[in-house]
Amino acid sequence: MHKSNRLFETIQIFRAAKGPVRAEDLAARLEVSVRTVYRDIAALQAMRTPIEGEPGIGYVMRRGYDLPPLNFDEEEVEALRVGLCMISRSGDRALRRAAERISAKIDALHTPATWLKVSPWGAPEDDPDLGCVSKAMLRAAVRDERVLRIEYQDAEGLRTTRDIRPIGIVYHINAVLLAAWCELRGGLRHFRTDRIYACEATGARFTGQGEVFRKVWSEQNRWELAEDSPETNEA
């Protein structure tokens, strides 16, 4: 988590707390070290955030401290709420946690809209306990232009090992597709993330090629003009 987001989240935890919060508990919530928590609290205190306490006992934030409102009108806020709720349907655990953090920030500055509901049903969740590959790992590979080696099972149940260059991710209602250049097939293919059973970085990169691949991919698929099936051009 970026430091600025972590500081904001720390303030939100203090705002919701009923009593002193220990550094160890903050570290567990934020998934950082206790030393990082101490540094963050010192940074917030230096910015005149009214946090009081000391290591070993706990910290509290004086009542009345508030944050400036977000510059969105009512419909824009509702659009954000619906969009963030729909992320839970993507099956992407890391994005869902990020959406929950953003929602908490919106709730802290606006009246909660409990009447807005989105069905949670959607793509299978990338639960590592079920053998699913993390979508966050796949997204990172797209951003960093890293070659991946995956074990993939197609619709007929055939498993193959592929070296791929991941270039994009498409979130359908009931499936998530990883778009990539497949070395085995010698072309652009789509891989359903719930059929990727193993994944590791090879150490190779395709720096600077991602945009070229995405241009060709976009021309081939024209996502904005048609409702493509999750099976479109599957590996």
- Residue 228 domain-assigned (yes or no): no
The DSSP symbol for 161 reads: E
- Residue 43 domain-assigned (yes or no): yes
What CATH number should be reported for the domain holding residue 10?
1.10.10.10
> Are 51 and 78 within one domain?
no
Taking the C-alpha atoms of residue 9 and residue 4, their distance in angstroms, rounded to an integer, is 9
Alpha-carbon dihedral sign for residues 148, 149, 150, 155: positive
- Beta-carbon neighbour count of residue 107 at 10 Å? 14
Where a domain ends, among 122, 140, 161? 122
> Could you give the number of structural domains in the chain?
3
How does pLDDT run along the chain (235 residues), one tens digit per residue?
778 778 888 988 888 888 899 999 999 999 899 999 999 999 998 888 889 987 778 999 887 666 555 567 788 888 888 899 889 888 898 998 889 888 888 887 777 777 777 777 788 788 777 667 889 999 999 999 999 999 999 888 899 999 999 999 998 888 889 999 999 999 999 999 989 989 999 999 999 999 999 999 988 876 544 444 455 567 7
- Residue 146 domain-assigned (yes or no): yes
pTM of the predicted structure, to 2 decimals: 0.64
State the residue range of the domain holding 179. 128-221
